[in-house]
Amino acid sequence: MSALEVGVVGLGYWGPNLLRSLSRVSQLKVRYACDLDDEKRAKLAHSYPQTRFTGNFQELLDDRDLGAVVVASPAPTHADLARRALLANKDVFVEKPLALAASDAEELVELASERDRVLMTGHLLEYHPAVTRLKETIEAGELGEIFYVYTHRLNLGVIRRNENALWSLAPHDLSLITYLLGQEPVEVRAVGHSYLGGEVEDVVFGTLRFADGKLAHLHVSWLDPHKERKITVVGSKKMAVFDDMARDGKLKIYDKGAEAPEYRSYGEYLNLRFGDIVMPYVPNDEPLRLECEHFAECLAERKQPRSDGHSGLRVVRALEALQHSLSAGGQAVSLQSTLLARESGG
């Protein structure tokens, strides 16, 4: 039996990227590739002669030699497929979002813990070298105390019909925000609108408030003139921007801020500081390759991934709360009270 044999489920838009990247990780063998659609399987099968292509997910679960399952099917199927895989004692990688309901995500986290299984969520950006460097910069205190962050994930297209811009685009931003700040929001608000005649919001603006006063704002849209994938972090000492669309210098650290001269009390008189802009060296490694290698390492060393089930759960909780607010026209939704109610069985 080899724990490093994996099966990929879902070969639509994203699954083939995972199939390719996982196949290139030397410690892994992609034993199965599964999709309900015959054509999707037929298109890929000739490129992977060592992999068995099947339309039957149960076949993967019944194979006792198969160690892990990678779920890249549509989001509404994640919880069910991941639950079945964990119950069959497989390690599991689930594309984002981990589930569509926090209660399902919680169950997956508990199941993985009870059965001592690796549970990883496909929060790709947590493996981006620029994000790793930004996290190190924040943790080293270089930016000072973090005040607030905001993200833009904008483009014209890809227009979705079955999920809104929040669920389609914001998981990446929420994983970034919670990863970089190391905490979950206590209260969120969201407003959005459907402009293209569908039933789902094409643009969503969300705000997250954290217990220590930090704020985060996210703007997601598939109806926008700009192609932007950007996060700005404003700290008491410096500010940082990660711009994933930039060709060079995806990460920039701005030595800018506002500070009180020592001889006066704060607020009485503030000096604006305009210093150097530094572009730290960031290796040009593909995040998807790093993500797949990290999964292999976690399987081999039996450790929980950077973007583990808890990370997936934090993002689903935030999405669920933002969706409640969106549906209620932008009302504040408290996550703390939801968490407390759950803990007390309410």
Ligand X SMILES: NC(=O)c1ccc[n+]([C@@H]2O[C@H](COP(=O)([O-])OP(=O)(O)OC[C@H]3O[C@@H](n4cnc5c(N)ncnc54)[C@H](O)[C@@H]3O)[C@@H](O)[C@H]2O)c1
| Residues lying near ligand X in the complex (CB under 6 A) | 9-15, 34-37, 40, 57, 72-75, 77, 95-96, 122, 124
Nearest residue (beta carbon) to ligand X: 12
Beta carbon of residue 53, minimum distance to ligand X (angstroms, whole number): 11
Distance separating alpha carbons of residues 111 and 257, to the nearest angstrom: 46
Nearer to ligand X, 122 or 235 (CB): 122
Nearer to ligand X, 99 or 180 (CB): 99
Beta carbon of residue 45, minimum distance to ligand X (angstroms, whole number): 14
Beta carbon of residue 104, minimum distance to ligand X (angstroms, whole number): 14
Q: Count CB atoms within 10 A of the CB of residue 301.
A: 8
Distance separating alpha carbons of residues 206 and 7, to the nearest angstrom: 36
Beta carbon of residue 248, minimum distance to ligand X (angstroms, whole number): 22
Nearest-10 Cα torsion for 92, 93, 98, 99: -50
Nearer to ligand X, 40 or 310 (CB): 40
Nearer to ligand X, 4 or 36 (CB): 36
Cis check for the bond before 97: say yes or no (omega within 30 of 0). yes
Cβ atoms of 170 and 218 within 8 Å: the answer is yes
Beta carbon of residue 284, minimum distance to ligand X (angstroms, whole number): 18
Nearest-10 Cα torsion for 175, 334, 234, 206: 70
Nearer to ligand X, 35 or 224 (CB): 35
Q: Count CB atoms within 10 A of the CB of residue 284.
A: 8
